Amino acid sequence: MHGGRYRRRYASPSLPERTKSDAKRLPPRPRCIIIGSLRRTGRSAALGDAQNPLHCGSVTDHGRRPLSCARRSSVEGLTMHQCHLTRAALVGGAASTLLLLGAAGASAHIDVSPTTTEAGAYSVLSFAVGHGCDGSATTSVAIDIPEEVVTVTPTAHPGWEISTVTNDDHVDQVVFTADQPLEDGIRDTFELALPLPETAGEEVVFPILQTCEEGETAWTETSSEGEDEPAHPAPYLTLTEADASAGDEGDTSSSAAQAAGWGGLALGALGLAAGVTALLRTRRSA
């Protein structure tokens, strides 16, 4: 294509090694060779086929475009399978990093785990704290008790002093204060035993104030269904319907246990009678 805008040039397949003595007399190495409207590097051309130098960008953007697996196979000695595996590993690594970041963000909450969520049932709630306030150690955890919870009993926790804030015989808040600050990244749990409200489907929210050596975090934010989770969500649980079959099973089990007990007594009486009869026969024979 001699009549085109650019003339075709080719890079030498091998470039001489420079030394300090011949640095002045050797011409500068070509960084790019213009072919048509493409910009190609002399080094890439030397590594590949001199007749087909590798593409490294356009004249307008001077950017470096990614090589296809076909070109990488000829230049770097990779098979097509190795090239695709390399790209898959890079994509998988990036995805794993994003997942880990997302998991880290999700774990930076205070969660509640109940032994049961049945409306009207007695439940033990476990509040898990696994982080401080932006890296600062935790000194106290104050859990607000909603009005619909009529009574609450905190579980003794070694290393933490427990106090309550009451108002008209209702416990409004339970406060756990650390004897020694809980370091950031160390997990601890705090338990409250309480009767759950009677209404199934109701959300019971427990706002928490986490106080640290430097600063504090108020876990008090709530959101409606369909909204994004807030930055500092309050722990909550949703009450479920009581399982009627569980009570029936309990009654059935109790009846079965009573029947088994009476049966055991009957068998014991028969065995005792048989033993006495055998003893009397032995004495008569003697």
Residue 124 has pLDDT above 60, yes or no: yes
pLDDT at position 26 is 52
Residue 269 has pLDDT above 60, yes or no: yes
> How confident is the prediction for the chain on average, in pLDDT?
73
From 2.60.40.2230, 1.10.150.20, 3.40.50.2020, 3.40.50.10680, which CATH number describes the 108-238 domain? 2.60.40.2230
Q: Where are the alpha helices (DSSP H) in the chain?
A: 42-47, 69-76, 80-107, 244-285
In this prediction, residues 243-261 reach a mean pLDDT of 59
Residue 188 binned pLDDT confidence (cut-offs 50, 70, 90): very high
Question: Helix, strand, or coil here: 175?
Answer: strand
Residue 176 has pLDDT above 90, yes or no: yes
Residue 120 binned pLDDT confidence (cut-offs 50, 70, 90): very high
Q: What is the pLDDT of residues 201-222, one digit of tens each?
A: 999 999 999 999 999 999 999 9
Considering the chain, what percentage of its residues have pLDDT values greater than 90?
44
Residue 105 has pLDDT above 70, yes or no: no
Residue 22 has pLDDT above 60, yes or no: no
Residue 144 has pLDDT above 90, yes or no: yes
Neighbours of 23 (CB within 10 A): 9
Domain boundaries, the chain: 1-65, 77-107, 108-238
Q: Which residue has the higher pLDDT, 16 or 199?
A: 199
Of 50, 13, 94, 76, nearest to 67 (Cα)? 76
Residue 96 has pLDDT above 50, yes or no: no
Question: Which structure tokens are listed for 22?
Answer: 């011949």
Residue 33 has pLDDT above 80, yes or no: no
**CA torsion angle for 93, 96, 102, 106 (degrees, to 10)?**
-150
Question: Which residue is listed with tokens 């009476």?
Answer: 262
Work out whether the CA dihedral 193, 235, 148, 165 comes out positive or negative.
Answer: positive
CB-count burial class (<10 Å; 0-12, 13-18, 19+) for 280: exposed
Residue 190 binned pLDDT confidence (cut-offs 50, 70, 90): very high
- In sequence order, what DSSP letters do the residues of 56-118 get, joined into one string? EEETTT-PPPPPPHHHHHHHH---HHHHHHHHHHHHHHHHHHHHHHHHHHHHSS-EEEES--B
In this prediction, residues 78-102 reach a mean pLDDT of 51
Question: What is the amino acid identity at position 280?
Answer: L
Q: Please give the DSSP secondary-structure letter assigned to residue 214.
A: S
Q: 159 Cβ partners below 8 Å, 6+ apart?
A: 178, 179, 180
Q: Picking from 78-82, 197-201, 217-221, 238-242, which range would have the lowest pLDDT averaged per residue?
A: 78-82
The tally of CA atoms less than 13 A away on the side-chain side of residue 159 is 9
Kindly provide the b/e burial profile for residues 240-274, where b requires at least 16 CB atoms within 10 angstroms of the residue's own CB: eeeeeeeeeeeeeeeeeeeeeeeeeeeeeeeeeee
